[in-house]
Amino acid sequence: MNPKTAIVGVGETTYSRNSGMTATEILLQASYRAVNDAGVKMSDIDGVVLPRLRTDLKINEFEFYTHANLRFRAYAGMDAGAGVVNAIELAQLALQNGQANYVLLYIGANQVSEKEKSSPRGIHQEDLYKRNCEIPFGFFPQPVYFGSIATRYSKLYGNIENQQAAIAVNTRKHAILNGNAQMTKPMTVEDYFRSPLLAEPLRLLDCCVMTDGAAAIVLTTEERAKDLARPGAAILGIAAAGLNPASPFFFTQTPDPLTTSAVQTAPIAFAQAGVTHEDIDVLEIYDSFTINVILQLEDLGFCPKGEGARFIGNGETISLDGKLPLNTHGGLLSQGYMYGMAHVIEAVKQLRGEAGLAQVKDAKISLVSGFGGWFQGTLILGGN
C-alpha cells in the first residue's frame, strides 16, 4: 500500500508591487521559509517539483544556490493553479515510490516590477495560434476571455453582477485580516460598481492583481511527518485533468466555455478522500476572475450548473463565518497573484489553526481548486 503524504512546511515572501529583490532571491527566500517551517534542513530536501509556468529559478540553479543533493526533479505539465495541484501530485508519487524523502515546490516572480519579463500575459502572447488567430481579432488579454465567458453565463442563467460583487467584497475583507496582502483598503459593494468596466461585464475589481512575490511548500510522508515539530496537512484526495473536449488549449475553440475540468477531477478527489461536500470546512478556489469562482463552485459539485450565483447570494454563505468560507486569505483578487500556491498555503494554515484573524473555527477539512484555463486540479486536505 502506498504511504500517505502530507504538506509539512509552508513559506511566503511579502506580496507587493515591488519586492526590491531579484526573482531568484524571492524564490529562495520562500523556499528557505518553507523548509524552516517544516523543521528540516535544506540538505534534507532531495526532491523538487515545479509547476509549468515560467520561473527565474530553474531546478539546476536551485541546486547550485542551495547545494541541495536532489534525487528527484520534475516539472508539472499544467499551468497556474492547476499546475500547482499537478506538481503536488508528482511530489506525492515521488514520495510514495521512495524517490525522495522531502520534496519542495516553489513558484513566484516579480510580475509588477519586471512585468515585461514575468507578466502572465506573455504566455498568451508567445503562443503562435493566439498571436495569429485570436489577438488580431481582439480576443486578448485575459479579461476579454473571461468577460466573454461571464457574458455567456449571464445570457443563459441571468445577471450575476451582485454575486460577482459579493465575491470581490468578501475576498477583500479576508485579505485585510491576513497580514500579508497587497490590497488592504476596505471595499464596499458601491466601490465595486464604481470600478471601471474592462471587458463587459467584468470590472477592474473582478480581476486579480499582479504581484511581486514567491511561495513554497514542503511535502513528505505522514510517517516522517510524525517526527516533525509542526503538524502536517494530510493529502486526502487529489486529481488534475485537462485538454479534453470541454476544455481545449484555446479559449476560442471550446464548445462549452462554462465547463471546467473540475467536472472530471472533483469526483476522483472526493472518492479518494472518502468525504462529501458537506464535510468541507474551508474552500480555496482559484479566483483570477470572479466568474471563475462561480464556474468552479458548480463543477466541483457544490451546486448544479447555473446555480452558482444563487448559491453565493449576497455573500453570507462564502463569508468567514458562513457555511462555506471562501478564499480566507484574500485570494488572487486581493491577497496577490501567486498562481494558486497561496491557496494551498492558506488551506494548510487553516487546518493548523494558524490563520490568525481569518481562522475558521474547528477547520478539519479544506479543499483547493486550482484553475489553469484548460486545466484544473482538485486537492482535499485534512488536519489532525
Distance CA 297, CA 172 (A): 19
Do the beta carbons of residue 349 and residue 10 sit within 8 Å? yes
Provide the whole-model pTM.
0.94
Is 299 domain-assigned?
A: no
Query: What is the b/e burial string over 80-103, where b = at least 16 CB atoms within 10 angstroms of the residue's CB?
Result: bbbbbbbbbbbbbbbbeeebbbbb
Asked if 215 and 13 touch (Cβ cutoff 8 Å), the reply is: yes
Place of cell 471595499: 187
List pLDDT tens digits, range 101-119. 999 999 999 988 887 665 6
Which of 29, 10, 205 is closest to 108 using CA atoms? Answer: 29
Q: Residue 146: phi, psi to the nearest 5? A: -80, -20
For Cα atoms 294, 191, 13, give the angle at the middle one, nearest 5 degrees. 70
268 lies in some domain: no
> Is residue 227 within 8 Å of residue 34, measured between CB atoms?
no
Distance CA 295, CA 261 (A): 10
Report the DSSP pairing between strands 103-110 and 72-75.
unpaired
Considering only CA atoms, which of 293, 277, 282, 280 is closest in space to residue 320? 282
Q: Report if residue 112 sits inside a domain.
A: yes
Model confidence over 292-344: pLDDT tens digits?
999 999 999 999 999 999 999 999 999 999 999 999 999 999 999 999 999 99
Specify if 324 maps to a domain.
Answer: no
Q: What is the pLDDT of residue 266?
A: 96
Q: Give CA–CA dist 114/3, Å, rounded.
A: 42
Work out how many domains the chain is built from and give that number. Answer: 1
What integer pLDDT is reported at residue 381 of this predicted model? 98
- Find the domain containing 60 and state its range: 5-117+210-225
What type of residue sits at position 201? P
With respect to residue 9, please indicate whether it lies within any of the assigned structural domains. yes
Q: In what order do the strands lie in the sheet with 282-285?
A: 72-75, 47-50, 103-110, 212-221, 5-12, 233-242, 375-382, 365-372, 282-285
Residue 230 pLDDT = 83
Say if 113 falls within a structural domain. Answer: yes
Cell of 310: 444563487
Contacts made by residues 136-144, CB under 8 angstroms, sequence distance 24+: 139/251, 139/252, 142/288, 142/289, 143/198, 143/199, 143/202, 143/206, 143/207, 143/289, 144/199
Asked if residue 214 is part of any domain, the answer here is yes
Helix axes 161-178, 290-299, angle to 10 degrees: 100
Residues 32 and 42: their CA atoms lie apart, in Å, by: 7
Question: Domain containing 99 — which CATH number?
Answer: 3.40.47.10
Q: Measured between alpha carbons, how far is 250 from 145 in angstroms, rounded to an integer?
A: 10
3-class DSSP string for 186-248: CCCHHHHHHCCEEECCEEHHHECCCCEEEEEEEEEEHHHHCCCCCCCEEEEEEEEEECCCCCC
How much is the pLDDT for 70? 96
pLDDT at position 250 is 63
Low-confidence ranges of the chain (pLDDT < 50): none
Say if residues 283 and 325 touch (Cβ distance below 8 Å).
yes
> 286, 110, 283: which is closest to 213 by C-alpha?
110
In a domain, 184, yes or no: no
pLDDT value, residue 132: 79
Helix axes 59-66 and 23-38, enclosed angle (nearest 10): 70
